[in-house]
Amino acid sequence: MIIVCKPLVSEEKIDGLISLLNEQGIQTHKSTGLMSTVIGLVGDTSKVDIESLEALDITDKVRRVSEPYKLANRKFHNEPTVVDVNGAKIGGKYFSIIAGPCSVESEEQVVSCAKAIKAAGGTFLRGGAFKPRTSPYVFRGLKEKGLELLLIAKQETGLPIVTEIMSLEHMHLFDDVDVIQVGARNMQNFELLSELGKCGKPILLKRGLANTIEEWLMSAEYIMSGGNADVILCERGIRTFETATRNTLDISAVPVLRQITHLPIVIDPSHATGKSALIHPLCKASVAVGGDGLMIEVHPQPEKALCDGAQSITPQQFASIVDDVRALCNIENKIL
Ligand code: PEP
Ligand code: MN
């Protein structure tokens, strides 16, 4: 990090700031120019508050030269992280397909869906028990009962389960869940993220509706700094001016993330587009762009779904997508 001081600030004031930084354990390097002085901050500057430095009357600007995220940073951990859930792997050379209904509605619905997903080659079952809905008047999930039904589907198929947590109060209900999902709306629920850092389970962290890649990685950092290295990032579309799709799938986020982080990256074309007809082409694009997995909403009868029916595909459509994804994985040297 560097601090550029305003022109013609007195040496005394600059030395005062340097002493203040040194007292906080930050090493500095002063370089005096003709008009202004630049102070280089050496070592770990992750705790430095840029805004308060910028607010000082002697500061012109402050610039970071290294990223604020450390544990998620590829510079400090070059090998790709592979999250292994009882043998189902995501990351590195392993590609995974997470699929299931937006919400768990009944035993018959979730078990039949799980069986179809397993038969087609899906690797995880995903279903919502606690549903974040924009309107409080619509179906908000079966809650505890939904979790019980997911566990039945897991027993019947052997598929590990992924489901969303919305509140810390529900943490004790997630003991048998294999991967805990943090939804877009909770990406910056920092208390929740910190607790999940201590839970010992892989976390699927969805990108916030309007969050930058750096903010997203800082949220991953919250989980990782608690001791949990198993974070899977999920790109699910961002808010833009475009209205043709529910959100805009930020496909370029995948290769961007690949350069800067070692964490696995999953793409969710369902919430990104809101349209079942767009899922197949975007699944193919997700493999081609270098993703490590997909998260897809599948419903035995999409027209009757209690949530997100318009973006849900049938088990038959899912099977055809898996065939194409598998073929593309072979080209990309990924194992599905
Ligand atoms: C979901 O995955 O069911 C969901 C609500 O997605 P998001 O948090 O991405 O909106
Ligand atoms: Mn959904």
pLDDT of residue 220: 98
In tens, the pLDDT along 249-270 reads: 999 999 999 999 999 999 999 9
Q: Which of 185, 203, 271, 299 to mutate to test the pocket of ligand 1 (most atoms within 8 A of CB)?
A: 271
Rounded distance, CA 141 to CA 138, Å?
9
- pLDDT-based confidence at residue 44 (cuts at 50, 70, 90): confident
pLDDT > 90 fraction of the chain, expressed in percent and rounded: 93
- pLDDT-based confidence at residue 46 (cuts at 50, 70, 90): confident
Rounded distance, CA 190 to CA 32, Å?
40
pLDDT of residue 210: 97
Q: Which of 234, 236, 307 to mutate to test the pocket of ligand 1 (most atoms within 8 A of CB)?
A: 236
pLDDT of residue 311: 98
Q: Among the residues of the chain, which ranges form H helices? A: 11-23, 50-54, 107-120, 144-157, 190-196, 213-224, 253-260, 269-273, 279-288, 315-331
pLDDT of residue 53: 94
236 CB near ligand 1 (under 6 Å)? yes
Residue 322 pLDDT more than 90?
A: yes
H or E segment to which residue 234 belongs: strand 231-235
- pLDDT-based confidence at residue 145 (cuts at 50, 70, 90): very high
Average pLDDT over residues 278-282: 98
Claim: this prediction has a pTM higher than 0.85: yes
pLDDT of residue 69: 94
Cα dist from 224 to 29, 47, 61, 146, whole Å: 31, 16, 30, 28
For all residues of the chain together, what is the average pLDDT?
Answer: 96
pLDDT of residue 110: 98
Rounded distance, CA 197 to CA 226, Å?
4
Average pLDDT over residues 147-174: 98
Instruction: Label residue 249 exposed, middle or buried (CB < 10 Å: 0-12, 13-18, 19+).
Output: buried
Average pLDDT over residues 283-310: 98
- pLDDT-based confidence at residue 95 (cuts at 50, 70, 90): very high
Burial annotation 15-52 (CB, 10 A radius, 16+ → b, else e): eebbeebeeeebebeeeeeeebbebebeeebeebeeee
Which ligand is closest in space to the CA of residue 166? 1
- Residue 111 contacts residue 152 (beta carbons within 8 Å): yes
Residue 308 CA, closest ligand 1 atom number: 3
- Residue 143 contacts residue 167 (beta carbons within 8 Å): no
In tens, the pLDDT along 164-179 reads: 999 999 999 999 999 9
Question: What DSSP letter does each residue of 51-82 carry, written as one string?
Answer: HHHHTSTTEEEEE-SS-S--TTBGGG--SPP-
What are the structural domains, with CATH classification, of the chain?
2-63 (3.30.70.1140), 83-331 (3.20.20.70)
Residue 14 pLDDT more than 90?
A: yes
Residue 187 pLDDT more than 90?
A: yes
132 CB near ligand 1 (under 6 Å)? yes
Q: Whose CA is nearest to atom 6 of ligand 1?
A: 183
Q: Whose CA is nearest to atom 4 of ligand 1?
A: 183
Q: Whose CA is nearest to atom 9 of ligand 1?
A: 184
pLDDT of residue 11: 92
Ligand 1 centroid – CA 183 distance (Å): 5
Residue 33 pLDDT more than 90?
A: no
Residue 90 pLDDT more than 90?
A: yes
Ligand 2 centroid – CA 293 distance (Å): 17
299 CB near ligand 1 (under 6 Å)? no
Scan for tokens 């587009």, then name that residue: 273
207 CB near ligand 1 (under 6 Å)? no
Ligand 1 centroid – CA 229 distance (Å): 22
280 CB near ligand 1 (under 6 Å)? no
